[in-house]
Amino acid sequence: MLKKIKKRLGYIKRGLIGYVQNNFEKTPKFPQNIKNHIIGKSGKGKDIECYQIGAGSQIILYAFGLHGNEIGTIKLAYNFINWIYQNQNKLENYTLFIIPCLNPDGYELALKNPDYFNGGRFGRFNANNVDLNRNFDTPNFNKKSVWSFGKDYSDTLEVYCGEYGNSESETKSLTDFVRDQNVRIIFMFHNAGKYVMGNKNELSQKLTKLFARKTGFGYVSNEDWEKLNQTGTMKEWCDINHVAYIEIEGSTRWGSDWDIQKEAIKTTLFTI
């Protein structure tokens, strides 16, 4: 009983903070004249937009909002785009691609139903009720998988992962774009677990540990990640396709987290 009360109080506390963040945090004005790609469509036909700054040899993708309920990641993306735009003179050697929202259908649902006091779960899935980060075309893909959440990821729910790997337009659009643009480094932003993990790539591990140090977030090893028994993930897909993958779980569902993550984002970028 005490455990349930503490859990409920935690939801209430985070919900109150989330309400303030979602309604009063200011997002920077979006810069004009940034090159824009439409990499695909959502299940409901919404554009999946990707912004590009630079045309250098070092190609990096920053992707946000794969789970539409992770509203803060989209806000983080706009802060990042604004910073990049203001610092283009420092980025001549880079081609930076930024996808602010990979799941616009889920994001739209989350905006209408922020669900502050129940963990903000509405909108996690796409229009077909698929968990997109379980839908990538990997050998271990399964139609059903596990979503682990809560303190120490001790709470679990079964989720639908689609009929086959890359069955969803959102995941196929992303992987096609990565291949077409020869992207070799991907930063993927989620929330709100406050940890960082990479894949088996050596550069990934270097950047993951650096990001964790700069934010104070926990570092998750490959061994610990595999214990979660997730299937069809972007991490696994990147391992197979020899792409360095860094996954960041921010500290808040509804806030941008920019003040916490900006130094880590900048430092890892200029380390590459």
List of domains in the chain: 2-271 (3.40.630.10)
Mean pLDDT of 30-46: 94
Per-range mean pLDDT, top range of 113-122, 151-160, 177-186: 177-186
Mean pLDDT of 231-250: 97
Q: What is the model's pLDDT at position 90? A: 92
- What residue type is 160 in one-letter code? Y
Q: What is the model's pLDDT at position 228? A: 80
Q: Check pLDDT > 70 for residue 30.
A: yes
Q: What is the model's pLDDT at position 155? A: 75
Q: Check pLDDT > 80 for residue 149.
A: no
pTM of the model: 0.96
Mean pLDDT of 244-264: 97
| Model confidence band, residue 153 (pLDDT cutoffs 50, 70, 90) | low
Q: Are 209 and 163 spatial neighbours (Cβ–Cβ below 8 Å)? A: no
Count of CB atoms situated within 10 Å of the CB of 129: 12
How buried is residue 270: exposed, middle or buried, by Cβ count under 10 Å (0-12/13-18/19+)?
exposed
Q: What share of the chain is helix, strand, coil (3-state, %, to 5)?
A: 40, 20, 35
Q: Is the peptide bond before 212 cis (omega within 30 degrees of 0)?
A: no
| Model confidence band, residue 151 (pLDDT cutoffs 50, 70, 90) | low
Q: What is the mean pLDDT of the chain?
A: 93
Q: What is the model's pLDDT at position 150? A: 65
Beta strand pairing status for 94-99 and 58-64? parallel
Percent over 90 (pLDDT), the chain: 80
Cα(199)–Cα(225) distance, integer angstroms: 9
Cα(216)–Cα(10) distance, integer angstroms: 21
Q: Check pLDDT > 80 for residue 67.
A: yes
Q: Are 198 and 247 spatial neighbours (Cβ–Cβ below 8 Å)? A: yes
Mean pLDDT of 207-223: 96
Backbone angles phi, psi at 260, to 5 degrees: -85, -40
Contact residues for 50 (Cβ-Cβ < 8 A; gap 6+) = 36, 37, 38, 39, 97, 98, 99, 177
Query: Strand, coil or helix: what is 16?
Result: helix
Beta strand pairing status for 218-220 and 195-198? parallel
Contact residues for 272 (Cβ-Cβ < 8 A; gap 6+) = 58, 60, 185, 203, 207
Q: What is the pLDDT of residues 41-52, one digit of tens each?
A: 999 999 999 999
Q: What is the model's pLDDT at position 43? A: 97
Q: Per the structure block, which two tokens stand in for 46?
A: 């919404």
Choose the weakest-confidence range: 11-15, 37-41, 106-110, 211-215. 11-15
String of DSSP letters for 174-214: HHHHHHHTT--EEEEEEESS-EEEE-S-HHHHHHHHHHHHH
Choose the weakest-confidence range: 24-28, 81-85, 268-272. 24-28
